[in-house]
């Protein structure tokens, strides 16, 4: 099933380069990425326990699209465009919350049921002959897998979440994911770089010994990357109990306490499960996270981050979770700086290419998936903006017999 960091590159002559620098600074490519990646690939929006009651909702924005999931009176979760059919206002303004009785648009007061149907318009006497049945909220594809909710704005190459993430299912199931309880709402961190620079830094452990003192103290060199399939990248770090020199690590490894039923080989394991192109789950003994890089501009991204705890959490586990978050926060800030340096280097006259180690093969794998969907990034220089989408489509068509399996 899995291979180790070094086994992951059995052919030592793999291409160690990265995407061309222009791909990180090109407006037309970002527009293409919105259409070919972010609208057509699954995005995690949250967990069913983010919306436990009828009228509860959670939202998700990417590019020009804005989505919401709301739980209906019948207990079903449904995804819709967060867009009023009257004049396009958001129908819910917050990142998450609860609607009492109905969804009421804040612009002119159109009222929607939790199943998305239009219940009524304000001043109905001003709408002779209106057909309310044609003006419900526009639905979005939603799939629930292991308690997590995924949305997709348009059909794409990934198939169902259940099939696509099947290689992850046995390990996820051990963490009892359906029972997870959200710790607050998703939170957001801005990074002034292209989303791919954030992903590149996050996608390898070669930098951990130098760049992340706390992570290195926690799992040292017991960190490996694994390949579970196209678009699926996994990394695992094993730590020793009662170890570490730093205050946060020493106390975390002392207090860590797995949930009942978790097999022994996961008691001291931090594991990361990627979902192409931009989603990562983190599974730990005390918590599960997900995070995703969302492009906002060509040189600006938002990292959306959600934390879930186990329902049986003890006081000791809560403390361990706090310490885990502290280690993770330090790591994130260190990665932020590395993302900025990597990204700005691509505008330098000295930037030539990446020269990736075997320990960075997940970066290359991610780039290879991007190359399948966006073969235009194989060009050494960018096509004119007006030709970006056309050139990409032509290159994809020319790749006869080579299916996109991103
Ligand atoms: S835009 Fe929603 S009621 Fe007018
Ligand atoms: Fe890092």
Q: Which of 47, 55, 50, 91 is nearest to 73 (CA)?
A: 55
**Residue 206, number of CB atoms within 10 A of its CB:** 19
Distance 113 CA to ligand 1 centre (A): 15
pLDDT for position 401 = 54
pLDDT tens for 226-256 read 989 899 999 999 999 999 999 999 999 999 9
pLDDT for position 13 = 79
CA distance 106 to 111: 10
pLDDT for position 3 = 40
pLDDT for position 104 = 98
Name the pLDDT band for 319 (thresholds 50, 70, 90): very high
pLDDT tens for 176-225 read 999 999 999 999 999 999 999 999 999 999 999 999 999 999 998 899 99
pLDDT for position 402 = 53
Q: Is 131 helix (H, G, I), strand (E, B) or coil?
A: coil
B/e letters for 254-271, b = 16+ CB within 10 Å, e = fewer, are bbbbbbeebeeebebbbb
**Residue 193, number of CB atoms within 10 A of its CB:** 27
Residue with CA closest to ligand 1 atom 4: 108
pLDDT above 70 for 2: no
CA distance 272 to 225: 9
Q: Which of 139, 144, 141 is nearest to 165 (CA)?
A: 144
User: Across the chain, what does the average pLDDT equal?
Assistant: 94
| Long-range CB pairs of 216-220, under 8 A, 24+ apart, other chains included | 217/244, 217/245, 217/246, 217/249, 218/244, 218/249, 218/252, 218/253, 218/270, 218/327, 219/270
**What letter would DSSP give residue 138?**
P
pLDDT tens for 80-127 read 999 999 999 999 999 999 999 999 999 999 999 999 999 999 999 999
Six-digit token pair at 203?
A: 């996608």
Cα distances (angstroms) measured from residue 214 to each of 79, 244, 245, 256, 324? 39, 9, 9, 16, 10
pLDDT above 80 for 355: yes
Ranking 13-17, 105-109, 112-116, 336-340 by mean pLDDT, the lowest is: 13-17
Residue with CA closest to ligand 1 atom 3: 108
pLDDT tens for 370-403 read 999 999 999 999 999 999 999 999 999 998 555 5
Residue with CA closest to ligand 1 atom 1: 87
Closest ligand to residue 86's CA: 1
Q: Which of 77, 109, 105, 81 is nearest to 92 (CA)?
A: 105
Residues by chain with Cβ below 5 Å of ion ligand 2: 335
CA distance 271 to 171: 10
pLDDT for position 14 = 84
- Stated as kind and residue range, the H or E segment containing 361 is helix 361-373
pLDDT above 60 for 365: yes
Ligand 1 test: best mutation among 68, 84, 138, most atoms within 8 Å of CB? Answer: 84
Distance 91 CA to ligand 2 centre (A): 38
Mean pLDDT of 283-302: 97
Pairing mode, if any, of strands 269-275 and 232-238?
Answer: antiparallel
Q: Which of 303, 277, 281, 307 is nearest to 292 (CA)?
A: 303
Backbone angles phi, psi at 234, to 5 degrees: -130, 140
Q: Which of 398, 393, 352 is nearest to 376 (CA)?
A: 393
Backbone angles phi, psi at 399, to 5 degrees: -80, 65
pLDDT for position 12 = 76
Name the pLDDT band for 406 (thresholds 50, 70, 90): very low
Name the pLDDT band for 1 (thresholds 50, 70, 90): very low
Closest ligand to residue 335's CA: 2
Residues contacting ligand 1 via CB (< 6 Å): 84, 86-87, 89, 105, 107-110
pLDDT above 50 for 404: no
Closest ligand to residue 330's CA: 2
pLDDT above 80 for 77: yes
Six-digit token pair at 319?
A: 């403390």
Q: What is the 3-state secondary structure (H, E, C) of 254-288?
A: HHCCCCCCCCHHHCCEEEEEEECCCEEEEECCCEE
Instruction: Tell me the helices (H) and strands (E) count for the chain, helix number first.
Output: 10, 18
């Amino acid at each position: 099933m899995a291979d180790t960091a070094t086994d992951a590159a059995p052919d030592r002559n793999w291409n160690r380069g990265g995407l061309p620098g222009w791909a990180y600074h090109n407006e037309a490519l970002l527009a293409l990425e919105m259409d070919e990646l972010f609208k057509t690939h699954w995005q995690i929006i949250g967990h069913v326990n983010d919306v436990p009651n009828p009228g509860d909702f959670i939202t998700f924005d990417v590019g020009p699209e804005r989505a919401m999931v709301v739980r209906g009176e019948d207990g079903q979760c449904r995804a819709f465009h967060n867009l009023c059919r009257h004049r396009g206002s958001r129908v819910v303004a917050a990142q998450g919350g609860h609607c009492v009785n109905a969804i009421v648009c804040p612009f002119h007061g159109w009222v929607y049921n939790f199943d998305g149907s239009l219940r009524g318009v304000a001043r109905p006497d001003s709408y002779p002959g209106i057909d309310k049945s044609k003006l419900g909220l526009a639905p979005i594809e939603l799939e629930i897998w292991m308690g997590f909710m995924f949305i997709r704005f348009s059909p794409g190459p990934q198939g169902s979440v259940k099939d696509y993430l099947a290689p992850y299912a046995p390990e996820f199931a051990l963490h009892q994911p359906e029972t997870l309880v959200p710790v607050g709402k998703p939170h957001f961190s801005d990074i002034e770089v292209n989303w791919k620079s954030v992903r590149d830094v996050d996608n390898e452990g070669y930098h951990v010994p130098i760049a992340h003192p706390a992570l290195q103290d926690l799992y040292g060199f017991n960190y490996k990357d694994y390949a579970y399939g196209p678009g699926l990248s996994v990394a695992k770090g094993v730590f020793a109990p009662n170890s570490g020199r730093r205050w946060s690590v020493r106390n975390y490894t002392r207090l860590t306490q797995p949930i009942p039923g978790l097999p022994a080989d996961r008691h001291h394991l931090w594991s990361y499960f990627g979902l192409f192109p931009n989603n990562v789950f983190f599974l730990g003994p005390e918590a599960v996270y997900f995070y995703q890089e969302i492009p906002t501009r060509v040189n600006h991204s938002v990292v959306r981050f959600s934390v879930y705890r186990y329902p049986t959490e003890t006081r000791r586990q809560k403390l361990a979770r706090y310490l885990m978050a502290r280690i993770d926060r330090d790591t994130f800030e260190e990665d932020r700086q590395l993302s900025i340096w990597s990204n700005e280097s691509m505008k330098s006259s000295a930037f030539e290419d990446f020269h990736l180690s075997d320990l960075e093969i997940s970066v290359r794998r991610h780039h290879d998936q991007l190359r399948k969907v966006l073969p235009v990034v194989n060009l050494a220089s960018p096509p004119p903006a007006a030709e970006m989408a056309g050139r990409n489509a032509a290159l994809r068509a020319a790749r006869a017999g080579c299916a996109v399996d991103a």
